[in-house]
Amino acid sequence: MSAPEPVRMGIELSKVAKSYSSVQAVRGIDLAVAPGETVALLGPNGAGKTTTIDMILGLSRPDSGTVAVFGASPTEAVKSGWIGGTLQDGSPPDQLRVRELVALVASYYPHPLSVDEVLRQTGIADIAERWASKLSGGQAQRVGFAAALVGDPDLLVLDEPTSGIDVEGRREFWQAMRAVAERGKTILFATHYLEEADANADRIVLMARGQIVADGPATEIKAKVGSRSIRATLPGAGLAELGALPGVLSAERHGDAITLSCSDTDAALGALLSKFPNTRDVEVSGASLEEAFLELTVDKDDHDDRDTVGVAPSLVGQELR
Amino acid sequence: MSGATHVRYELLRALRSWRTLFLSFGLPLVVYCVIVPSKRHAVTDGISFPLYFMTGMAAYGAMWGSINPGARIARDRAKGWVRALRITPLRARNEIVAKVLTAYLIALLTLALLYLAGTLFGVRLDAAQWLEMTGLLLVGLAPFVAVGIALGHVLSVDALPAAMGGFVVLLALLGGAFGQLFTSGVMLTIVKLLPSFWLVHAGKTVVGSGSWPAEGWIVVAIWTLCLIPLAAIAYRHDTAIV
C-alpha cells in the first residue's frame, strides 16, 4: 500500500454546506489554503469552525460542495497519513503512559518522527512516563499536539488547541507550533481568540453563523474586528500627536471630546494618561469579538433573518456541542 | 508495522486494567482454589469435580476476557479517543483485529492459569485433550468477543458494566460454570441453547467423545453468526461519516 505522493495543493473547499437537523452549521463556504500556509479559523462558538474542520478531516461529509486535501478526498488524505490533528473535547485514553500514547500514534504513520524528539519539542518530555489520562487539561492538550505532530503529516489541523491551557502554557504551545510552521507544514487552527489568531497565523479566516465573513492577512482582520475606542475629554491635544500613541489606529476630535480608535486599548490608555495627565472622563468601549462579528455579518444577511441574528450565535453554539 | 504495535499496546492496556486482573484472572482462580480442595474426589456430570470446575472457571474467566475489550471501547469513546483515531491512518480492520486478538490472548492467559491450578489439584489430560479443550473454548468464546465489541460501541460507560456483567454472569451461571444447575428436563434443553453451556462442557467433551455433538457446534455457530453482524453494525454506526 504505497501512498501516492501528495500533489502540491493545500486545502480546497468549494461551496461547502452542512446542516445538522434544523441547524445550518455551514452555509456554502469557499476556502483555499496553500501548502505551507498557517491559517486561523476565527469565530465565536457556533460559527461553524468545528463543522468545517470535521469535513476537512473526513469525520463528516458536506451536504453539498466539495472538500479536497492535497488534491485527494479527506478520507484518502487521512489514510495516507498526510493529516495530523487534534479534536475538541478529546482526552487521552487510560492505561497508557504519555510516551506510549505518542509512540502508538506514531506507529500508524508511514514515516513518523522520533518520539523522543517530538516529546521534547512539545515540552512534555518531563511527563513522558506519567499516565496520559491523569494529566491537567493543558498537559493533555500538549500530548494531543504531540500525537498530531509525530506522524510528520503535511497538514496539521488543530481545533481550539489552547482551550483549557493557562497563559504560560499557551505561550509555550504557540512557540512549538510556530517551529512546526517553519518546517513548511500547512496548518489550520480554530480559535475564538483574536490575539491567538493574530499572533500565530499568516492569514485569518473569520467565520460567523456558518459563513466566511472576512478572509485576509492577520493585520487586516485585526484592524477590522479588533478596534476598541477610547473617549475622553482632553482640550488642546493635537490629533497627530494622539494618533501616534502606541496602540492607536486613528484619532478624532469633536470640540473638547476626543475619540481614539485603538488596536490595543491597554497600551493606548497608558500612553494617553502619562502623556496627557489632564485627560478626564475616560471611557473605554469596544465591541466584543462576537459583537464585531455580528457587525461584520449583519449587512450580508437577509432582513428576514435579522430578528433572530442577535440570539442565534449562542444558541447555535449550544446545539452544535 | 502499525498492526503489531497496536496489538501490543491493546494487550498492555488490558493487562493494566484491574477489571482484567480481577475478573479474568483473580476471581476464577481464587474461587477454584478455595472450592476444589474439599471436593477433590467428587464427581460432577460424570467427570471429576476438579476437571469440571476447572473448565467452568476457565470458561467464566475467559468470557470476561473476551467481552472486556467492550469496556475499553466504551471508555475510549467517552474520551473522544475512538474519534481521534479516525483522523489517523489506522485502518478499521487493524483496530478490530487488535481488539479480537487481545480478547483471545487474555482468554488464553486465563485458560493457562486455570489449567495450572487444575493440574495442581490432580487434573490429568493428555496433550491432545488439553489442546482440544483449548480449541473448543476459543471457538465458544467468539460470541462473547462479538458482544463486547457491539456493546462497547453502543452503550455508555455507565450502562456498560451492568450490561456486560449481567450477560456474562447469567450465561456462566446457566451454562453451569459454577456447578451443574440442571441435569434433565426442559431447563436443560434451554441451557443447551447457550454458548456458555458448551464452553463449560468442553472438559467433559474432551475426556468423552473429543468434540462437541453437532448440537453444540450449531448453537455456537448461530450465536456467532448472529452477533458478528451486530458488532459490525454497532461499529459502523459509531464511526460513520455523518
User: What's the pLDDT score for residue A230?
Assistant: 86
User: What's the pLDDT score for residue A88?
Assistant: 87
CA distances to A147, B59, B175, B189, B219 from B215, rounded to whole Å, are 50, 19, 15, 11, 6
> The cell 487488535 sits on which residue?
B98
What residues in B contact A91, CB-CB < 8 Å? 79-81
- Tell me if the pTM is above 0.95: no
A10-23 pLDDT, tens digit per residue, is 999 999 999 998 88
B6 and A107 in contact by Cβ < 8 A? yes
Question: Could you say which of A57, A85, A95 has the minimum Cβ distance to residue B13?
Answer: A95
Nearest CA in chain B to A88: B80
Nearest CA in chain B to A95: B13
| Pairwise CA distance, residues B127 & B207, whole Å | 12
Mean pLDDT of B52-74: 96
pLDDT confidence bin for B52, thresholds 50/70/90 = very high
A211-252 pLDDT, tens digit per residue, is 998 899 887 777 676 667 888 999 888 888 888 888 888 888
User: What is the nearest CA distance from B188 to chain A, expressed in angstroms?
Assistant: 42
What residues in B contact A104, CB-CB < 8 Å? 5-6, 9
Contacts of B129 (CB under 8 A, 6+ apart): B206, B207, B210
Angle at A158 between CA A153 and CA A160, to 5 degrees: 170
What residues in B contact A79, CB-CB < 8 Å? 89, 91
A84-95 pLDDT, tens digit per residue, is 999 988 889 999
pLDDT confidence bin for B97, thresholds 50/70/90 = very high
Determine which of A54, A83, A94 to mutate to test the interface with B (most B C-beta atoms within 10 Å): A94
User: What's the pLDDT score for residue A320?
Assistant: 33
B5 and A104 in contact by Cβ < 8 A? yes
Residue A34 has pLDDT above 90, yes or no: yes
User: What is the nearest CA distance from A222 to chain B, expressed in angstroms?
Assistant: 32
A95 and B81 in contact by Cβ < 8 A? no
In the numeric block, which cell numbers belong to residue B136? Answer: 473448543
| Pairwise CA distance, residues B131 & B128, whole Å | 5
Interface confidence: ipTM more than 0.90: yes
Contacts of B137 (CB under 8 A, 6+ apart): B55, B58, B59, B62, B107, B111, B199, B202
